[in-house]
Copies of this chain bind each other. A is one copy, B any other.
């Protein structure tokens, strides 16, 4: 974990993420941009950004890279309960509770901004729309969580994987990380298995089914959606739970 300053730091995803929920004025965007640049950190892949049991005191906002929110059982079984993508705030408001009940680990190198609680609250107090946007992000996370329960509980493997891919693609689109029908996809099959409640072996076979059906191309960490409508049908995907404007 090291401090990264100056050029190359992009706060765009954050502005885009929040703008999808509330209209963010030029001046608010500028103030937010300034706050985000105050303390920019970097973390390698495969580490816990925050861990179950930690006392939440700071807020981390992801500028680039992917992470996974997860919980593990005593015997090692792991369930990823959500992905954290660029523009997402990992833990806004979690300081209202005394302890974190889950962990977040980096799947790639991650660049993120860290903000102290006081600074964060001051930002929100000064701007109603910004505060609402952040609360909405929290509510959308809950909605995603609900949809995941449906996904894991009531969809079969092929539907489940298709649905997850649809969700990720939509979320990346919001923050401008979808190029046409392709995106970087830095997730191992083990991660996908832990996100869908499947075994790695079966996840592998399910991906092959999606490939064979001509719905996706996935290789060398790049995902291309060959037929988005078909993928949505295959996953019984309805994006309203993401509450994207427009």
| A153 and B236 contacting across the interface, CB-CB below 8 Å | no
Q: A residues 215-246 with Cβ under 8 Å of B?
A: 236, 240-241, 243
Asked whether any CB of chain B lies closer than 8 Å to the CB of A102, the reply is: yes
**Given A150-B81, A153-B196 in contact, is the A139-B93 Cβ separation under 8 Å?**
yes
Check A154–B73 contact: CB distance below 8 A: yes
For residue A132, CB closer than 8 A to chain B, the reply is: yes
Residues in chain B near residue A153, CB distance under 8 A = 79, 152, 196-197
A243 to B197 alpha-carbon distance, docked (Å): 25
Q: Tell me, rounded to whole Å, the shortest Cβ–Cβ distance linking A246 to chain B.
A: 11
CA distance A141 to B99 in the complex (A): 15
A150 to B93, CA, bound (A): 22
A94 to B135, CA, bound (A): 10
Interface status of A5 (Cβ within 8 A of chain B): no
- Ordered by A's residue number, 28 sampled pairs between the chains whose C-beta atoms are within 8 Å are A71-B146, A71-B147, A73-B154, A77-B154, A79-B153, A81-B146, A81-B149, A81-B150, A82-B146, A93-B139, A94-B139, A97-B136, A97-B140, A97-B143, A97-B243, A98-B243, A99-B240, A101-B143, A101-B147, A101-B243, A102-B143, A102-B241, A142-B142, A142-B145, A149-B149, A152-B152, A152-B197, A153-B197
10 cross-chain pairs, A with B, having the tightest CB-CB distances, nearest first: A153-B197, A145-B145, A101-B241, A79-B150, A77-B154, A81-B149, A152-B153, A79-B154, A81-B146, A79-B153
